Amino acid sequence: MTITPHLSGATTRVRLSNRFGQTPVTFGRVTVAALEPTGGLHPPTPAPFEGRAETTVAPGHEVLSDPIAFPVTSMRPLVVTVYVAGTATGPTKHWNANATTRYTAPGSGDHTHDRGRAAFTSTTGSWPFLTGLEVLSSRTTRSLVAFGDSITDGFVGANPLSIPADRRVADTDQRYPDFLQRRINDAAIPVSVVNAGISSNRILTSGEPLMLGPSGIARFTRDALDQPGVAAVLVQEGINDLGLPPQSDAARIIAGYRQLITMAHDRGLEIWLGTLLPASDALVNGVLAPAAERQRQQINAWIRSQRVADRVVDFDRSLRDPEAPSRLRPSYSSPDRLHPNTTGYQAMANTVALSELKRLTATAGCTN
C-alpha cells in the first residue's frame, strides 16, 4: 500500500484495524519501505508488535506497531506491506484511497520483504487494514484534523454519475488536505494535517455495512478527538445528509454540528466549521434532491453567523460560480458537478488562513 505521510520524522508506528471485521485477523508480518526512483523498494524495515512479527487483532479492535527507526519525509510516498496469515473475511478498509494498492493471489505466502512487484499481480484503489502512520514529533508540533466526507477524502468524479473515481488523480496526492500540508510546509509551520475524510460519509446517518463509515457524530471521538497531538478539527461535512436517502434537513444537521462543537470543547480543543459547497446542478444534490440547495443555504448562513465554533472556513465563497452561486465554478468542478477537481481542491486549501495554523502551535504539543 502506497501512502504519503504529512509529517517528517525519524521514528514511526503503523496502525492497522479490524474495526469492522467479523472474525479475528492475523497479521503475520508488516514492513515499511521507501520507494526507489525506478519504482522498486529500498530494503524493507520490519514493524513488530510488542517485539513479535505476528499479531492477531480481534473484531472491533485496532493495533499500533512498536516504534521503529524509519525516517520519513513529509509528502514523500512510502510503502507499507502487510502479510495476512490465514483467512480474513470482510477486511476493514478505506475504499477510496486515491492511491494504488498491489496485492498477491490468496495462498501465495509472505512477500513483505519483496523489493519488486512481480508477485503482486492485482491492484485496488483501497487501503485494506491500514488506517495510519504515526510519526514522532517535537512537543511544539500540533495536528489539524480535516474531518469530512468525499470532498475531504479527495474524490474526483470521472463522469456525471460520480462513480468511478477519476483514476488520473490516483497516487498524485492532490486532496485538499495534501495541498494544505504543502502550504504549511512552505511556511515552516509545525502542523500536520490529518485526513479523516470518508467518501459518502454523513453527519447523522451511518453508512455501514457499505464501507461509508459510522455517522460523523459516532466516529468523531475516535477519528478526530483521539488523534495524537490534535489542536483543532476542521469539519466540512453535511452535503451527503442533504442528498443521500434518508435525506435530512438544515435544522437536524445544525443540531449535529452543535453536538460536534460540544464534544470538541469538552476536550479543550478548537473546532472550525467549513461551509458546504454548492451542487445544485449535480445529480445527487440537485436532480434527485431538489430541496438540498435551499437547506444548504440555511446551513451556510448559520455557519457564518454562529458564535459557538472557534473559526469559520468559507469554502463555498471560494469555490462557487460568481455567475451562478448555487453551482461550483466550472474551472473548479469535476464532471459530476458535486466534487471539486484538483484545481478546486487547491482553492480549498488556499482558503485556510495560515495565520490561524501558526496560532495553534502557541500551546504545548505532544507526539503526532
CATH number (domain holding residue 228): 3.40.50.1110
User: Where do we find the cell 486515491?
Assistant: 98
Give residue-wise pLDDT tens across range 16-37.
999 999 999 999 999 999 998 8
Distance of CA 2 to the CA centre of its chain: 14
Domain span at 178: 137-360
Residue 309 above 80 pLDDT? yes
Is the bond preceding 48 in cis, omega lying within 30 degrees of 0? no
The answer to whether residues 81 and 221 belong to one domain is no
Residues 109 and 167 in one domain: no
* Residue 24 and residue 126 share a domain: yes
The residue type found at 319 is L
Residues 234 and 313 in one domain: yes
Q: Is the dihedral of CA 61, 67, 68, 69 positive or negative?
A: positive
Integer Cα distance of 233 and 146 in angstroms: 6
**Owner of C-alpha cell 445528509:** 241
Pick the last residue of a domain from 90, 114, 133.
133
pLDDT higher than threshold 70 for residue 347:
yes
Confidence of residue 87 (pLDDT cuts 50, 70, 90): confident
Do residues 123 and 149 both lie within one domain?
no
Instruction: Name the residue with higher pLDDT: 368 or 248.
Output: 248
Q: Which one has a higher pLDDT value, 343 or 208?
A: 343
Strand 270-274 relative to strand 230-236: parallel, antiparallel, unpaired? Answer: parallel
Within-domain flag for 365:
no
Q: What is the pLDDT of residue 179?
A: 98
Same structural domain, 222 and 126 = no
Buried b (16+ CB within 10 A) or exposed e, 166-190: beebbeebbbbbbbbbbbbbeeebb
The torsion angles phi and psi of 195, rounded to 5 degrees, stand at -85, 110
The reply to whether 227 and 338 lie within a common domain is: yes
334-346 average pLDDT score: 97
pLDDT digits (tens, 9 = 90+) for 203-238: 999 998 887 899 999 999 999 999 999 999 999 999
DSSP state of 38: T
> Looking at residue 247, what DSSP letter applies?
P
How many structural domains comprise the chain? 2
| Spatial contact of 337 and 328, defined as CB atoms under 8 Å apart | yes
Distance CA 123, CA 347 (A): 31
366 within some domain: no
Query: For residue 195, with 0-12 CB atoms within 10 Å meaning exposed, 13-18 middle and 19 or more buried, which class applies?
Result: buried
pLDDT per residue as tens digits for the range 145-192: 999 999 999 999 999 888 888 989 999 999 999 999 999 999 999 999
Domain assignment present for 329: yes
Q: Indicate if 69 and 168 belong to the same structural domain.
A: no
- Which pLDDT score, from 0 to 100, does residue 344 have? 98
Q: Shortest CA distance to 35 belongs to which of 85, 82, 72? A: 72
Domain match, 105 and 156 both? no
Instruction: Detail the DSSP E strand segments found in 184-323.
Output: 191-197, 230-236, 270-274, 311-313, 320-321
- Shared domain for 148 and 273, answered yes or no, is yes
Q: What's the rounded mean pLDDT across residues 316-341?
A: 97
Q: What is the mean pLDDT of residues 62-79?
A: 97
The per-residue pLDDT of the chain, averaged, comes to 94
Gyration radius of the chain over CA positions = 20
Q: Is residue 189 part of a domain?
A: yes
For 71, 238, 318, 338, the CA distances from 330, given in Å and listed in that order, are 41, 22, 13, 11
Which residues share a beta bridge with 12?
Answer: 68, 135
User: Does the structure show a pLDDT above 80 at 14?
Assistant: yes
Q: Are residues 189 and 314 in the same domain?
A: yes
Query: Final residue of a domain: which of 133, 161, 176?
Result: 133
Distances (CA, A) of 363 to 118, 291, 366: 49, 43, 10
Q: Evaluate whether residue 159 is within a structural domain.
A: yes
| 367, part of any domain | no
Whole-number percent of the chain with pLDDT over 90 = 87
For the chain, percent of residues with pLDDT exceeding 70: 98
Compute the residue count for the chain.
368
In Å, how far are 115, 159, 163, 233, 295 from 254, measured between CA atoms?
50, 31, 28, 17, 11
Count of CB atoms situated within 10 Å of the CB of 36: 10
Shared domain check, 123 and 142: no
- Residue 368 included in any domain: no
**Band of residue 285 on the pLDDT scale cut at 50, 70, 90:** confident
pLDDT for the residue numbered 299: 98
The 10s digit of each residue's pLDDT in 240-271 is 999 999 999 999 999 999 999 999 999 999 99
pLDDT for 363: 58
Grid cell digits, residue 222: 475516535
Of 133, 152, 176, the position where a domain reaches its end is 133
